[in-house]
Each structure stands twice: as C-alpha cells, then as structure tokens.
C-alpha cells in the first residue's frame, strides 16, 4: 500500500519536477519571447491549419466524383459481362446447330457405314452396357505441399489427380475395349486432349472439377476386368495404395455417353503425281 500511495502522490518524477522548477526560476520556457518569434509561430500555425482545411475540402469535393466514376466502372463491367454471356450462349447454340447438321449429314450420306463413323468420331450419342469409373483426390489433398515421389515438372505430391493420371486411365479403357468414353459429361474423340492448367485438369480446354466420373461404353463386366488387370488399371490401383487417391469402378447395364459438342470435319485428297516421278 505504501508503494501505491507513493506512486499516486508522486506521479511526476522528482527529477522532471526539479528541472521544470529550475527553468521557471531562470525565466526559460518553450514559448518564444520576442514579437517576431511569436508572429512566426502564429503564421506557422495558421499555415498548417490552412493546409489541413484545404485538403479536407478537396477530399470532400472529390469524393462524389470518385464515387460516380466507381459506379460507372461497375456498370460498364456488368454490361460487358452480360454481353460476354450472351456471346457465349450464342456460341453454344451455334455449336449445337453445327453438331445437329453434321449428324444429319452423316445419316443422309453415310450409308451403311454412317452409324459406325458417327460412333467412332463421337458425332452421335451412345448408350449401352459399360463401366462407370470414379477417380477423386485423396482426402488429405491440399493446395500446396512439399515434394514427393510423384514430383515432376513443377508438380508436387499433394494427393491430387493429375492430367497424366487421367490420360493413362482413358488410354487403358480404350485398350481394354471401350467403344465410347466421356469424363464428367465431356465426350472424348480421337482429337481430344487432356491437359493441365495449374491443379486443374482440362479436357478439350474445358476445366473439370473432381470427382472425375469416367463413363465407358463396352462389354460391361469384361471391360471392367480387362481394365483392372491392365498396366493402366494397376497404375491406378498403385495411386490408391500409395497416395490415397480414391477410386471406384463398377459394371453398368446401361450407360449414356453424350455426343461431342463439336466435331471438326477434315478431308484429305491424294496428291497428284508430278511428271517424271513414280
């Protein structure tokens, strides 16, 4: 209690109090003594106040202008976004029309081989018995992680499914007898590409999100058995055992695989022989 009482009674250190008393006795203080010095101090204070006042006034005047420009920018962004959405819908509609025309032309001029050509090219939807394979990231998958056994070309082992994994899965299904394959509703054709953009997997430049559902039309149980016994099926099993990637495969009685959004039609003609060549 005596310590607390001493602190309350002597809130100002004795040394500071002594120095202040000495300056007061000597007639020294922090304020200017001469008229010129007092005028200079007053002018400085007035100038500082003027600067603060002018700054506040300019900020207040500019605030509505900035707010208006921000609203105009937001409106412009909304308009451009709406315009882009309309163009994207238009592109999808035209792509659908082109696909329908291609399928009609295939039926009309394809003859007996039209159905087979449409199946092989992905121009027509397919349904029948097949296999449903689901591939998903490991539960412990994280956005970032340290290096691991699968680290290659900037990728690290994070328990995520990579584009090269899906490439092997699809190739294994083709080799096992699949007649039509799709990933998350995206039909694969002979020209399809499975690539990566960061951690995302792209199929024909369209990003997919896990889980990746692969549908393959074929001889259901036989296709499932052949794939699981193939090198690519064993590779997928190794991913499950070593890295926690989740997979499930089952034979289905009826699987529907959609047609490819747009099939590129390419034609080739034999090159005319030149004179003097055989």
Contacts of 124 (CB under 8 A, 6+ apart): 103, 106, 115, 118, 259
Backbone angles phi and psi of 130, in degrees to 5: 180, -155
The predicted pLDDT at position 150 comes to 41
Of 36-50, 59-73, 95-109, 110-124, the least confident? 110-124
- Percent of the chain past pLDDT 70, that is, above it, reads 72
Note the pLDDT tens digit of each residue in 198-207: 778 999 888 8
Distance separating alpha carbons of residues 205 and 192, to the nearest angstrom: 9
Distance separating alpha carbons of residues 119 and 181, to the nearest angstrom: 11
To the question of pTM greater than 0.95 for the whole model, the response is no
From first CA to last CA, the distance across the chain in angstroms is 118
Cα atoms found within 13 Å of the Cα of residue 1, Cβ hemisphere only? 0
Distance separating alpha carbons of residues 258 and 256, to the nearest angstrom: 6
Q: Other CB atoms closer than 10 Å to residue 128's CB: what's the count?
A: 16
The predicted pLDDT at position 4 comes to 60
Q: Is the pLDDT of residue 275 over 50?
A: yes
In the chain, where the domains are located: 31-109, 127-144+155-257
Q: Which tokens sit at 65?
A: 């202008």
The pLDDT-based confidence of 15 (bands split at 50, 70, 90) is low
Q: What is the mean pLDDT of residues 92-116?
A: 72
The predicted pLDDT at position 157 comes to 56
Distance separating alpha carbons of residues 257 and 178, to the nearest angstrom: 12
**Highest mean pLDDT: which of 3-17, 82-96, 151-165, 213-227?**
213-227
Note the pLDDT tens digit of each residue in 125-155: 888 999 999 999 988 775 444 433 344 444 4
The pLDDT-based confidence of 247 (bands split at 50, 70, 90) is very high
Strand stretches in 2-81, DSSP E:
none
Strand stretches in 70-170, DSSP E:
126-136
Q: Other CB atoms closer than 10 Å to residue 221's CB: what's the count?
A: 13
**What superfamily does domain 127-144+155-257 belong to in CATH?**
Protein of unknown function DUF881 (3.30.70.1880)
Distance separating alpha carbons of residues 222 and 229, to the nearest angstrom: 11
Contacts of 3 (CB under 8 A, 6+ apart): none
Q: What is the mean pLDDT of residues 221-238?
A: 93
The predicted pLDDT at position 151 comes to 42
The pLDDT-based confidence of 158 (bands split at 50, 70, 90) is low
């Amino acid at each position: 209690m005596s310590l607390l009482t001493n602190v309350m009674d002597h809130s100002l250190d004795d040394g500071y109090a002594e120095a202040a008393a000495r300056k007061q006795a000597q007639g020294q203080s922090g304020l200017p003594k001469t008229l010129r010095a007092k005028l200079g101090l007053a002018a400085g204070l007035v100038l500082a106040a003027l600067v603060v006042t002018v700054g506040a006034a300019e900020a207040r005047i500019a605030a509505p202008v900035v707010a208006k420009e921000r609203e105009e920018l937001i409106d412009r962004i909304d308009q451009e976004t709406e315009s882009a959405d309309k163009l994207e819908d238009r592109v999808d509609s035209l792509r659908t029309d082109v696909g329908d025309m291609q399928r009609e032309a295939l039926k009309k001029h394809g003859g007996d081989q039209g159905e087979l050509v449409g199946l092989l090219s992905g121009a027509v939807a397919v349904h029948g018995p097949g296999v449903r394979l689901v591939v998903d990231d490991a539960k412990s998958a994280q956005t970032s992680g340290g290096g691991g056994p699968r680290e290659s070309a900037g990728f690290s082992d994070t328990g995520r499914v990579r584009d090269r994994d899906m490439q092997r899965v699809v190739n294994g299904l083709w080799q096992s007898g699949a007649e039509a394959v799709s990933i998350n509703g995206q039909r694969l054709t002979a020209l399809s590409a499975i690539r990566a953009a960061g951690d995302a997997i792209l199929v024909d430049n369209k990003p997919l999100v896990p889980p990746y559902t692969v549908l393959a039309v074929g001889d259901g149980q036989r296709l499932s058995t052949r794939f699981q016994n193939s090198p690519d099926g064993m590779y997928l099993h190794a991913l499950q055992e070593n890295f926690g990637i989740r997979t499930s495969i089952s034979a289905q009685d009826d699987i529907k695989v959609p047609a490819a959004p747009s099939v590129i039609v390419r034609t080739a003609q034999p090159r005319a022989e030149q004179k003097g060549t055989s």
